[in-house]
Structure 1
Amino acid sequence: MRARIPTLATAGGAALLATGVLPANALDATVPGSAQEGSVSAADLLAKVTSCRQISNGKYKTDNGTSATVPVCDKNGAVFWKADMDIDCDGQRTTDCNETRDPWFQNDTAFHQSDGLPLKAESLPYVVVPSSGTIWNYAASGIKGGGVVAVVHGNKVEYAVVGDTGPSTIIGEASYATAKALGIDPDPTTGGAASGVTYILFKNSQASPIESHSAAVSLGDRLAKQFLQSN
């Protein structure tokens, strides 16, 4: 939610794919393990997003003071963009996400855990979407809080959820945990990646509860397979 600075199958499987929703009691919350999550490779995902059918009304900046160069693109079952990764450390105060470690820290996130508390950027992989504005309205594209995202960097895939919103003209931000799992420096002041990050957001999906990383991985792997088959 902060302004960014330049930084660097189960019996119900068919129904889950159709709805894009995983039941709240399916999986418990876990800390991300491997950066190569699920069975779909980074190369296979990237091969499906080589061209862009732009749906945004113009393009986004990756940071304050940069040119607007990043469009939001549409595919069957998903939207995607290719940008940098700035580090979001907002939400619950933890060892590495607090006012001391992050001068832009905010103790809230746009979307909350099932118990009503803000998300934990340090342990939960989540992605920040631009607040709805004249460039793009994420909700109109079937993107919602808890929506599943495949984040690709190099040869690594990390599944995350839509967890926060940012400036309406800037794109390319994810939580401390997302960066760490992908091998990107997660430091909120000096870390991040200057480029080379692809965000694939699956339409009308929702991991439940939002704080369950394992729910995002399980549903994300299914949706990624479907994405490969339909594009």
Structure 2
Amino acid sequence: MSTRAELSAIARPLVAKVKEHPFWTGLRAGTLPPSSLWYFAEQDARYVVPTYARALAMCAALAERDEHGTLLCSAASATFGSLPKLAAGLSELAAGLPVAGSDSTEARPMIHAYTSFMLAAPTISFAAGIAGLLPMSWFHLFVSDDLRERCEPGSRYASWVAQYPPGGDYEGYVNAYLAMVDEVGAQSSKTDRKRLVEHFLIGARFEWAFAEAAWRHQEWAV
């Protein structure tokens, strides 16, 4: 079995769970509490996406093949380049939601764990690094497509949903990333292949946990 096929089999039920999480179903229907959307959008723009960009750059530095380094550098650059737009969108969201925008500079518990995982994975190996980051790219594509297809017309969050999907040839990028993972998996030792799969699964679980944290407004206990 190819690495891509193995990861696809792992991803399928997890993606289904993510798409049917109350956070995403509530966002599609327009019934999501505004505070949950703010929690997600703020943590994503301030912590998750910037860390993803840095982790991509870390993986690029480890790439042995130039084409892999090129793909990852391009993705890191594009992600860093998206940060001003995310910041502007966050300000617009704060102005339009009946909740006070947070001035906190602190990542919430689960987000701290997720971003720490992103930065730690490349220190184990190139394979572990790219596998750990894959769910954020891949699941974002699945969720964005699902939002386009199933968002209730006229939903109170329709404008936010409209800007959430990535622009450009994002599907092409994800397919190129999957091809890279497939190549690396095919050339990996049994131990490295196991680490690759394990880190992919952890990253996928964090994608569900991020929605859960936003839904439950998870905060530090002390």
The answer to whether TM tops 0.5 is no
TM value normalised by structure 1: 0.30
Larger helix share, 1 or 2: 2
Larger strand share, 1 or 2: 1
TM value normalised by structure 2: 0.31
- Based on CA coordinates, which of the two structures has the bigger radius of gyration? 2
